[in-house]
Amino acid sequence: MSMKIHAWIARQLPISRREAEKRVGDGIVSVDGSVAKIGQIINGDEKVTMNGQVIEASECQRRLLVMNKKVGWVCSMAEQNGQDSVFNYLPKLKKGKWMLVGRLDLNTSGLLLVTNNGYLSNCLAHPTSGFEREYLVRVSKEISPVMRKELLTG
């Protein structure tokens, strides 16, 4: 499967695509002995090195979890302002990393999908996928007809 070099590196190492792209831009990544370029497309069977160390291609087991996010948990990798991160409650992965399919606000609870498959995460979260989402909202004051229309249209 063809993909950009930084996306491939992020799949193999516990770093973000943005960090992988930075390392490619810094000139420390090589593909088959040549310095990699930002945006370069690879097939995954090339010899990729970073700082002279070979990055081994690995297929990790794809997983999809359903989580009941509690009020007070943040949907970010790190705790913020003393609030727990949802990632604190996920099983540890030997390879790859967890990705959230969408997000829920700090003061929101409910179903949250978590996967280690970036392609699946993007497909499920992107509006063009056509997956319908339904939300139950509690408000503290009466909603005007204009506000109601805005909520219903998204």
3-state secondary structure of 74: strand
Q: What is the largest CA-CA distance in the chain?
A: 65
Q: Distance of alpha carbon 119 from its chain centroid, rounded? A: 9
Is residue 45 part of the annotated active site? The answer reads no
Query: If you search the block for the tokens 């002995």, which residue do you land on?
Result: 33
Are residues 116 and 98 in contact, defined by beta-carbon separation less than 8 angstroms? Answer: yes
Are residues 114 and 3 in contact, defined by beta-carbon separation less than 8 angstroms? Answer: no
Query: If you search the block for the tokens 């069977």, which residue do you land on?
Result: 45
φ, ψ dihedrals at 131, nearest 5°: -70, 130
Which listed residue (26, 32, 84, 105) is catalytic? 105
As annotated, the active-site residues are 105
